[in-house]
Structure 1
Amino acid sequence: MNQLPWQQVRNPYKPVEVLSDDQVEAIHQAALRILEELGVEFMSGQALDLLAAGGAEVERPGGLVRFDRGLVEESLARVPARFTMTPRNDARALEIGGDAAIFGLVNGPPFVTDLDRGRRDGNFEDYRNLLRLGQSLNIVQYVTNQSVAPMDLPPESRHLDCYQSILTLTDKSFYATAVGRDRVEDALEMVALARGETREALVGRPSIFSVINVNSPRRIDGPLSEGLIALAEHGQPPVVTPFCLMGAMTPVTLAAALAQQHAEALAGIVLTQLVRPGTPVVYGGFTSNVDLRSGAPAFGTPEYAKASMAAGQLARRFGLPYRSSNANASTSVDAQAAYESMMSLWGALMGGANMLHHGAGWLEGGLVASYEKVVLDAELLQNMTEFMKPIVVDEDSLGFAAMADVGPGGHFFGTQHTLDRYETAFYAPLLSDWRNFEAWQEAGSKTATQRANAIWKRLLAEYEPPPLDEGRREALEAYVARRKESGKLAA
């Protein structure tokens, strides 16, 4: 099976700009007006104290916060344009920002599915298998705290089991949960143990990140506010991501949705900079539309793709790293899932996204993690990576010598020019092997989903855990046991 090597993906192309400079500025000014006049509600006393001390106007009780535009602009100026995320394996470090692009595993579905067993509740066994797939696929560059929710584990302690699995089954960067301070501190403590360091040594060295979803419209809940604060205190990047569905959580027009998304993201960014100036932050965009007949979210639509590109422009206006997603609303791994994912990918990557969340495995609007979709998305991501390689135009690549050798009416299959490139070309990355014609014929009789089913099984059969010092493994086990016995785990 062909895979691209592990690599830092670069996007050499100028992002598509669906907004004019004047439109970008108009949306930004509208967001500042939202922050000044309407405000954003924070449901955390600690967040309100920090915001009040930093110069924001705080209403108590109620928690509504209004932001002076000067405070917003000062905060944005402190955010670094790029940073490096370093997991327990230094060789897997990833740059985030600029022309860099990284791809992650799906996160958060309560259900999981595959062709053999169908749709079922999320569980720990499937969770660990999805991590193994994420480790095995080079194009999946970071893994997630809950690639599927392990609902057979107690909710107050399952994050410990998830972190332990991530740090033993993979050696890649990971998305921790930031539902409250304790879950962030547990993640940092366990990363430090896996690296053989102290937690203090991680301060200012990004080693984990977490998505902070805004409860649109204009509300950030208490646990996520406190998780954001804990991340910022340690110099770990929050990915501040409003969840904006036009016609449901925002006004129905794209311009209004972008203005609200921008305002909500800026509010979270201001808080990070009040906690620790210079903390890296990722600007998250997740704006799409709903089916106005049913209220169901829609993804991979023209509106979603345009919103992804426009959000990238807003992020770049302030030099902020930008996150988007590979999303679809299909209930099965079918043509709809494929074309909606492709629309999402084009919108994200041509919008200049630095972080592609839910890159592999998302199905059914985020309700389901699919084994087969992990493989099919990996192929899409590898093809997009090949697309993002710059075109080579030099004497050899222009092929004059090959044309002279072949002459009119010939073919180029057997020329050295072709053969030299055949060994390195990347035409059939995961689902086929063109060099074995019989195997290709047999595979051609199956659907892509059936072939993906065989591939994930083979990946799991061949999986080998990355090396981890035995003393560090034991330290992780002891920490998890100690925390579970402490009786101090938040629900």
Structure 2
Amino acid sequence: MIHLSVLYTEEVEAIHQATLRILSETGVALAAPRNKPGPPFRSEGRRILLDAGAKERAGRICLPPNLVERALATCPPQVRLRGRGGTVKTLGDGSLHWHNLGGARDVYDHRTGRRRPALTQDVRDVTRLLDALEGATTITPFFTPQDVPGALMSLAMYRHALPNTTKPLQGPGVQTAAEVDFALRLAGVIGPPDEFLSLSVSPVSPLIFPDEAVEAILAIARAGVPFAPLPCPTAGTTAPFSIAGALAQQNAELLTCIVLAQLVHPGLPIIYCGRLAMMEPRTGFSVWGGVELGLASAGTVQIGHRYGLPVNVYGLSTNSHTLDIQNGYERALNAVVPALAGADELSGIGEMEAGVMGSYAQMVCDNEIAASVRRLRGGFAADA
């Protein structure tokens, strides 16, 4: 297998040590619920961390290095994802898996060349298409349907995707314990949730953990469902401008999620997910098309593998709004770099416009790109 490293071993270790300093000296903020302003909220997550040896300073929770290392030591090296049809995919076994973009708001209509809001029917249709594409080995709910109330969008994505695929369906991003409960009940229709469901929670960069999100993490851990913490920092706005500094902050947010989950459920399967993006300085827009995204994703892979965890990062990514040459070269470059770095799972099938829009036609193109990238990563034998 061809392998690419964008960081030397000592650089990975330097980022790890910087992460430990961030967590032990700067700490993280556990924010009160939005409807409970006032003094620092004494949440269950805060109590769990303090009881485990964390320290509270100036309203922030500081995690000592030994607490972080203990949590990492209990994480298993592989995560098994089961589909409704009996298919099992194992992240961390050396294979490269692909899934689609998740949560796009708009649909690129290839018949008109125009965008339109995604609807519930699109969630069903796109899931059936992904189920038929060989390159998509796992699936995540693709569109955020605009014809359901905002509070129900995340669950509607999962509910309408679930009956339309037999592949492993990774659950939606959740931000409250109530959403976790509903997702567990939906997954329970087809089997044990800890076999058929994985869930993600995103902290707020930089280093902020709203209490609702913490409660969601605790609920996931108690259910024993594979957990994919998903920080989404943007270098230059919610993270340092340098890629190395932003990777250290992203890692601190990831490790905080892992510590919380492992304190509640030691041995909980963890997928190390990083979604570090770049900022366009003139506008403040998030940039998914520059090759820096591929570099950041490759660095994330190396850091996650330092902990022995399966890693999921951005793959097929572009800022293009249409099916043009910019779209092609941006997404291919950003997929190849982390793939050769050893990513266990890459996202982005069907993605356009920095994740705001998705395209049915693009999914078919990406199915071909994914096959080519997988073949490239495999290299060839010099035995003949």
1:18 aligns with: 6
The answer for the alignment partner of 2:51 in structure 1 is 53
Partner of 1:40: 28
Deviation at 1:153, TM superposition (A): 1.2
User: What code does the residue aligned with 1:121 have?
Assistant: P
- Residues of 2 paired with 1:158 and 1:310: CA distance? 32
Whether 1:332 and 2:306 are equivalent positions in the alignment is no
Q: Contact 1:206–1:235 (CA<8 Å) still a contact in 2?
A: no
Q: Deviations over 1:37-78 (max 9, x none)?
A: 111122362322222222212468x5x211011000111111
- Matched with 2:346 is 356
1:94: Cα distance to partner?
0.5
Q: What do the CA deviations read for 1:373-397 (whole angstroms, capped 9, x no partner)?
A: 1111111111112223352445xxx
Alignment-mate amino acid for residue 87 of structure 1: G
Bigger shift: residues 304-313 or 44-53: 44-53
Query: Match for 2:284 among 279, 295, 304?
Result: 295
By how many angstroms is 1:207 displaced?
2.1
Taking the aligned partners of 2:294 and 2:343, their CA distance within structure 1 comes to 12
| Alpha-carbon distance, 1:367 to partner | 0.7
* Preserved contact between residue 75 and residue 262 of structure 2 (Cα < 8 Å): yes
Determine the structure 2 residue equivalent to 1:108.
Answer: 103
Tell me the SS of whatever aligns to 1:128: helix
Q: What TM-score does the superposition give when structure 2 sets the normalisation length?
A: 0.91
Shift of 1:267: 0.9
Residues 353 and 229 from structure 1, CA distance in 2 versus in 1: closer, same or farther, beyond 3 angstroms? same
The amino acid across from 1:209 in the alignment is S
Give the Cα–Cα distance (whole angstroms) in 2 for the partners of residues 97 and 374 of structure 1: 25
Alignment correspondent of 1:266: 255
1:233 aligns with 2:222: yes
Which residue is equivalent to 1:473? Answer: none
Aligned to 1:80: 76
Q: What secondary structure does 1:323 align onto?
A: strand
1:192 aligns with 2:188: yes
Match of 1:25, as an amino acid? E
Q: What's the offset of the Cα at 1:114?
A: 1.6
3-state SS, counterpart of residue 380 of structure 2: coil
Instruction: Describe how 1:8-407 pairs up with structure 2 within 5 A.
Output: 12-14=1-3, 16-43=4-31, 45-58=43-56, 62=59, 64-90=60-86, 92-117=87-112, 118-145=114-141, 147-177=142-172, 178-195=174-191, 201-202=192-193, 205-326=194-315, 327-358=317-348, 360-394=349-383, 398=384
Give the aligned CA root-mean-square deviation in angstroms. 1.9
- Between 1:43-52 and 1:129-138, the stretch displaced more is 43-52
From the superposition, tell whether residues 53 and 364 of structure 1 become closer, same or farther in structure 2 (CA, over 3 Å).
same
Question: Within 2, Cα distance between the matches of 1:160 and 1:30?
Answer: 37
CA distance 1:247–1:69, shift in 2 (3 Å) = same
Amino acid aligned to 1:129: D
Deviation, 1:150, is 0.7
Q: What is the letter of the counterpart of residue 15 of structure 2? A: I
Name the counterpart of 1:479. none
Contact 2:20–2:252 (CA under 8 A) maintained in structure 1: yes
> CA–CA distance in 1 between the matches of 2:75 and 2:326?
38
Is this contact kept in 1: 2:96–2:374, CA < 8 A? no
- SS of aligned partner of 1:242: coil
| Aligned equivalents of 2:307, 2:320: Cα separation in 1 | 35
Instruction: Give the aligned partner of residue 40 of structure 2.
Output: none
1:345-368 Cα distance to aligned partner (Å, 9 max, x none): 11221121112123x111101111
Determine the structure 2 residue equivalent to 1:424: none
Of structures 1 and 2, the larger Rg is shown by 1
**Cα offset, 1:275, TM superposition:** 1.2
Contact between 1:31 and 1:262, CA under 8 Å: does it hold in 2? yes
SS in 2 for 1:138: coil
Q: Secondary structure at the match of 1:356?
A: strand
TM-score normalized by the length of structure 1: 0.72
CA distance in 1, matches of 2:377, 2:5: 17
| CA–CA distance in structure 1, aligned partners of residues 345 and 217 of structure 2 | 18
**Displacement, 1:159?**
4.5
Structure 2 unmatched runs, 5+: 33-42
Displacement of 1:227 in angstroms is 2.1
8 A Cα contact 2:350 2:366, kept in partner: yes
- Looking at structure 1, the residues matched to 330 and 96 of structure 2 have their Cα atoms a distance apart, in angstroms, of 20
Residue ranges of structure 1 left out of the alignment (5+ in a row): 1-11, 196-200, 399-491
Question: Per-residue deviation at 1:121?
Answer: 1.3
- Which secondary structure does the structure 2 equivalent of 1:295 belong to? coil
Q: Give % identity.
A: 29
CA distance 1:111–1:378, change in 2 (3 Å): same
Does structure 2 conserve the Cα–Cα contact (< 8 Å) formed by 1:281 and 1:320?
A: yes
Deviation at 1:79, TM superposition (A): 0.7
